[in-house]
């Protein structure tokens, strides 16, 4: 039987026609926030399905989260249905990696204070002792070596940096064989030899507060930390202290501890419980790492590839490890 996929809502309305052109012609697509009748969908594209959505279609074999990451409530729900696969999309891997590398460059070159001063016609920083550092030859540790981490590794290698990485299952590594990959239990041994720590991990019970005061002070004085994984992987109070004291030269983050919970709070929600905005050596970005002009087109292409694989009875890409949570 041809595949039937149902979208709770379209995430790429401007690229819908292109999306349809990429699909196998026998795939059926339906869209709607109400459960269709009859509910015959084989694939459900929904960021947070309810039990009713899962159980309404006897044909359901997979749920797709149309972005990277999985909400905790969705993981909890899907664990009750072991025969239904859970998948997400990795179309924004290079987007996020590029933003992470941008944060690294801005932090290493202390670009934000220079920009802010010159906007006010102030040239005095030009004649002060340079705070920028050379990245070439520096040792970078990538914490989390999935698709985003591997893209970061390629960018760092291209800049002449000495790259090493940590991932939960080093034996699963499919990246450049010239980059040594270590298990997580070697983190504290590697930190004293790290000039730049790049974090590209998902947030799980194992990774929350993984980088605390002890880990930050194992890094050599003058190191840089960049976080494009999830905010709570790094203890915010320890990070603020390490930046304020000067132990860390600089940091940058696209991921946070507090987020607006409504449209009205968009302009008055501090991203953390400490005043990171007061620090000149911290580069802040409002969690836009995956968003580029091409995002909708990328998502449409990734979803078409996923649905075509399912329609052809091939393995569906990006299967989430339900127990690990990513």
Q: Are residues 146 and 247 in the same domain?
A: yes
Residue 274 and residue 310: Cα distance in Å, rounded? 46
Q: Are residues 195 and 272 in the same domain?
A: yes
Find how far residue 260's CA is from the centre of its chain: 19
Q: Are the beta carbons of 66 and 11 closer than 8 angstroms?
A: yes
- Please report whether residue 232 resides in a domain: yes
Contacts of 63 (CB under 8 A, 6+ apart): 43, 44, 45, 46, 49, 54, 74, 78, 84, 85, 86, 87
Flag whether pLDDT at 90 surpasses 80: yes
Summarize the confidence of residues 31-54 as an average pLDDT.
94
Write out pLDDT tens, residues 91-103: 889 999 999 999 9
* Tokens encoding 72: 């905790």
Flag whether pLDDT at 307 surpasses 60: yes
Summarize the confidence of residues 68-86 as an average pLDDT.
90
* Tokens encoding 136: 């070439």
Q: Are residues 164 and 111 in the same domain?
A: yes
- What percentage of residues in the chain have a pLDDT greater than 70? 98
Q: Are residues 78 and 67 in the same domain?
A: yes
pTM: 0.90
Write out pLDDT tens, residues 235-283: 999 999 999 999 999 999 999 999 999 999 999 999 999 999 999 999 9
Residue 66 and residue 89: Cα distance in Å, rounded? 6
- What percentage of residues in the chain have a pLDDT greater than 90? 80
* Tokens encoding 156: 């760092």
Flag whether pLDDT at 174 surpasses 80: no
Residue 318 and residue 45: Cα distance in Å, rounded? 14
- The DSSP secondary structure of 66-105, one letter per residue, reads SSSS--HHHHHHHTT-TTSEEE---TTHHHHHHHHHHHHH
Q: Are the beta carbons of 1 and 288 closer than 8 angstroms?
A: no
Find how far residue 197's CA is from the centre of its chain: 15
- Please report whether residue 316 resides in a domain: no
- pLDDT bin (cut points 50, 70, 90) of residue 178 is confident
Summarize the confidence of residues 44-72 as an average pLDDT.
92
Flag whether pLDDT at 49 surpasses 60: yes
Count of structural domains within the chain: 2
- pLDDT bin (cut points 50, 70, 90) of residue 173 is low
Q: Are residues 141 and 53 in the same domain?
A: no
Write out pLDDT tens, residues 288-297: 988 898 988 9
Torsion angle of C-alpha atoms 41, 42, 47, 50, degrees rounded to 10? 70
Flag whether pLDDT at 175 surpasses 70: no
Q: Are residues 99 and 229 in the same domain?
A: yes
Contacts of 40 (CB under 8 A, 6+ apart): 4, 57, 59
Lowest mean pLDDT among 7-11, 55-59, 157-161: 7-11
Q: Are residues 226 and 264 in the same domain?
A: yes
- Please report whether residue 227 resides in a domain: yes
- Please report whether residue 111 resides in a domain: yes
Write out pLDDT tens, residues 132-172: 999 999 999 999 999 999 999 999 999 999 999 999 888 76
Q: What CATH code is carried by the domain that includes residue 264?
A: 3.40.50.720
- Please report whether residue 59 resides in a domain: yes
pLDDT at 176: 58
Residue 193 and residue 139: Cα distance in Å, rounded? 7
- Please report whether residue 324 resides in a domain: no
Q: Are residues 103 and 71 in the same domain?
A: no
Residue 214 and residue 210: Cα distance in Å, rounded? 10
Burial of 160 (0-12, 13-18, 19+ CB in 10 A): exposed
- Please report whether residue 322 resides in a domain: no
Residue 311 and residue 317: Cα distance in Å, rounded? 12
Q: Are residues 49 and 112 in the same domain?
A: no
Residue 142 and residue 292: Cα distance in Å, rounded? 23
Residue 148 and residue 142: Cα distance in Å, rounded? 10
Q: Are residues 103 and 223 in the same domain?
A: yes
Write out pLDDT tens, residues 193-236: 999 999 999 998 899 999 999 999 999 999 999 999 999 999 99
For residue 275, the enclosing domain spans: 93-284
Flag whether pLDDT at 28 surpasses 60: yes
Pairing outcome for strands 139-143 and 85-87: unpaired
Q: Are residues 102 and 250 in the same domain?
A: yes
**Lateral strand order in the sheet of 4-7:** 28-31, 4-7, 43-45, 62-64, 85-87
- Please report whether residue 175 resides in a domain: yes
Residue 101 and residue 264: Cα distance in Å, rounded? 32
Summarize the confidence of residues 49-53 as an average pLDDT.
95
Q: Are residues 79 and 173 in the same domain?
A: no
- pLDDT bin (cut points 50, 70, 90) of residue 321 is confident
């Amino acid at each position: 039987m041809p595949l039937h996929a149902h979208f709770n809502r379209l995430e790429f309305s401007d690229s819908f026609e292109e999306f349809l052109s990429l699909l196998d012609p026998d795939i059926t697509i339906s869209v709607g926030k109400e459960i269709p009748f009859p509910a015959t969908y084989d694939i459900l594209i929904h960021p947070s399905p309810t039990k009713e959505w899962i159980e309404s279609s006897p044909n359901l074999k997979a749920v797709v989260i149309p972005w990277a990451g999985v909400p905790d409530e969705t993981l909890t729900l899907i664990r009750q249905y072991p025969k239904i696969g859970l998948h997400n999309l990795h179309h924004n891997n290079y987007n996020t990696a590029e933003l992470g590398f941008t944060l690294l460059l801005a932090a290493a070159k202390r670009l934000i204070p220079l920009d802010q001063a010159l906007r006010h016609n102030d040239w005095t920083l030009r004649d002060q002792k340079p705070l920028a550092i050379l990245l070439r030859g520096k040792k970078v540790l990538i914490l989390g070596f999935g698709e985003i981490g591997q893209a970061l590794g390629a960018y760092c290698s291209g800049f002449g940096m000495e790259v090493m990485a940590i991932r939960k299952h080093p034996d699963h590594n499919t990246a450049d064989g010239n980059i040594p990959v270590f298990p997580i239990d070697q983190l504290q041994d590697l930190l004293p030899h790290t000039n730049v720590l790049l974090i590209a991990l998902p947030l799980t019970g194992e990774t929350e507060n993984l980088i605390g005061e002890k880990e930050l002070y194992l890094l050599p004085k003058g190191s840089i930390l960049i976080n494009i994984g999830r905010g709570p992987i790094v203890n915010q109070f320890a990070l603020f202290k390490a930046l304020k004291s000067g132990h860390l030269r600089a940091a940058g983050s696209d991921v946070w501890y507090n987020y607006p919970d409504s449209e009205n709070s968009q302009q008055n929600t501090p991203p953390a419980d400490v005043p990171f905005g007061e620090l000149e050596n911290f580069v802040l970005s409002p969690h836009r790492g995956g968003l580029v002009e091409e995002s909708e087109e990328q998502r449409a292409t990734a979803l078409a590839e996923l649905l075509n694989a399912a329609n052809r009875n091939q393995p569906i890409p990006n299967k989430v490890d339900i127990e690990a949570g990513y």
